Amino acid sequence: MRVQIKSDSAEMEKKLEALVKKQTMFAASVALTRTATEVRDNYVLPKYRRTFDSKNKPFEKIVNHVSASDARYAKKTGVAVAAIKRRDGPMVRGTLNLRKYYASKGKSGKGPSTTDFMKLHVSGGVKRPKGQKLAVPLSGSKVTRRKAGAKAGAVTKTFEPKNIIESGKGFILGKKGSGKSYIARRMARGGVQVLYSLQSSVKIAPVYDPTQVARRGAKARFPAQYRKAFFKALKTARLR
């Protein structure tokens, strides 16, 4: 966007130029935050939902969190920065400090203890157990997941591997020398239900990279957001 300033008074023209210069980065900061939010909601989240069977709606915005642009940083450096990132990930320089931001709003900003595992879905890699083995639900097993609440998508308490074993009905099933083992449980009417495969590690393929859709969204939406923020900034600014 180009801004051309003309005035019959040299002094007034100088003041107007200073005003525009002062408000430019403030408007860019506001516009970038609004653009990031619009891109997250209308471009990135649809990509996320096409990639994952998303049952936990709040979690979607925790791992695609908008870190707002810090207007003071923008004015000081001439660079406006906003980010779409994991909320508990490293802070991006030039964005608002989340802890201070939530404290100022009277919010705790609570969320999962970590969303670090999401990195593997982006870059790919190997997931390893905290203990001896990873319990991986078998395809077509009767393992159920929570449908609502903060832990939506997580395995229901009844089907958590630890609870199955401690119920007295669960046991480890495996053939000696085969290296394969499973978590199974005895059914009340007889028979055995095999639920989990126990593995030393699991290879995670890279399946989620919203970078391209985010760039496309930013290119499409930032100009309009900037014009809106810029004219509002000029309208509400004081000419000194």
Q: What is the mean pLDDT of residues 17-34?
A: 80
Which tens digit of pLDDT belongs to each residue from 186-220?
998 889 999 999 999 999 999 999 999 999 999 99
Q: Would you say residue 12 has pLDDT above 50?
A: no
Least confident of 69-73, 82-86, 174-178, 195-199: 174-178
Distance CA 183, CA 197 (A): 6
Structural contact between residues 80 and 222, judged by C-beta atoms closer than 8 angstroms? no
* Distance, CA of 144 to CA of 156 (rounded, Å): 6
Provide the residue ranges of all domains of the chain, joining segments of one domain with +.
10-119+206-236, 129-200
pLDDT for residue 53:
84
Higher-confidence position of 34 and 99: 34
Looking at residue 110, what is its pLDDT? 62
Is residue 34 over pLDDT 90?
yes
Task: Give me 3's structure tokens.
Answer: 């801004």
Report whether 42 contacts 35 (CB < 8 A): no
CA–CA gap between residue 158 and residue 184 (Å, rounded)? 13
Q: Report CA-CA distances (Å) from 27 to 69, 151, 156, 230.
A: 11, 38, 47, 5
Report the C-alpha gap between 82 and 36 in whole angstroms. 7
Cβ atoms within 10 Å of 143's Cβ, excluding its own = 19
